Each structure stands twice: as C-alpha cells, then as structure tokens.
C-alpha cells in the first residue's frame, strides 16, 4: 500500500540534532528529515550532490566562496566536491535529499558522523 508522508508529523517523532532520519526514497536517493542546532563541521561529499530544503527556521550554509542563507520554502543544492558548513543559530528543520551512499559528515570522520540511519 502506498502511503503519503506528512513532513511536519515526521519532525514530531524525534528531538536529536544532526541525526538524519530516512522518510522516503526516490530512485537511488533518500529523502531525510534532520533537526539542526549550532554549527556543524566543514566537509564535502566526494561524489554526492546534497539538497537542503528548509521547512522551519533559518539555515546558514557557509561556503569557501560565499554564504547561502535559507528560509522556509527555500532550497540549495551543494554539488559534490564543494566544501560546506551548515550553521543553525536556532533550531532548524531541514529536508535533505541525497544519494543513498551519502554520510552526513562526508570526507570528515567526527563524533558527528552517523553511519547508520534510522527510518521513521
């Protein structure tokens, strides 16, 4: 049976930050919900493009040659190979879209790395 997904309802199911949860898949990509708060780590994904779509709050994505600020209803695609640093001054709810092989910290291994994702 094909089930729809209510994005806001998914965000009510968890409270941890920087830990993406799988909420859907299309072809070889996962759609993930993630709550961000604070500053992440500079990293890049060698082969995976990554889309950030803001649902709630404001997200700053620092890039080596400029910054992007996203409000709700806005998205940006960070192409593979491009270093980026997500910064959330307050809590931000983000929908991520990226190849299934993507690890959240990319080429950097840190305490923030989440190797196995929960599906909610």
Residue 45, both tokens: 């994904």
Q: How far apart are CA 100 and CA 13, in angstroms?
A: 22
Q: Which residue has the tokens 């799988």?
A: 22
Q: Which of 13, 16, 77, 91 binds a second copy (CB under 8 A)?
A: 77
Does 4 engage in binding with a second copy (CB under 8 A)?
yes
Please check whether residue 91 is in contact with residue 38, taking contact to mean a CB–CB distance below 8 angstroms: no
Length of the chain (residues): 120
Does 39 engage in binding with a second copy (CB under 8 A)?
no
Does 13 engage in binding with a second copy (CB under 8 A)?
no
Does 8 engage in binding with a second copy (CB under 8 A)?
yes
Does 81 engage in binding with a second copy (CB under 8 A)?
no
Q: Which of 12, 46, 66, 111 binds a second copy (CB under 8 A)?
A: 66
Please check whether residue 63 is in contact with residue 35, taking contact to mean a CB–CB distance below 8 angstroms: no
Q: Which of 13, 16, 79, 90 binds a second copy (CB under 8 A)?
A: 79
End-to-end CA distance of the chain: 17
Q: Which residues bind a second copy (CB under 8 A)?
A: 1-8, 24-29, 31, 48-51, 55, 63, 65-66, 68-70, 73-79, 82, 97-99
């Amino acid at each position: 049976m094909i089930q729809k997904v209510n994005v806001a309802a998914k965000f009510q199911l968890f409270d941890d930050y920087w830990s993406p949860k799988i909420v859907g898949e299309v072809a070889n990509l996962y759609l993930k919900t993630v709550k961000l708060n604070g500053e992440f780590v500079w990293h890049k994904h060698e082969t995976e493009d990554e889309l950030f779509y803001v649902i709630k709050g404001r997200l700053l994505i620092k890039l080596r040659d400029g910054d992007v600020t996203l409000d709700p209803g806005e998205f940006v695609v960070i192409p593979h190979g491009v270093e980026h640093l997500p910064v959330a001054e307050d809590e931000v709810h983000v929908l991520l879209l990226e190849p299934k092989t993507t690890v959240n910290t990319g080429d950097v291994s840190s305490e923030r790395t989440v190797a196995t994702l929960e599906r909610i």
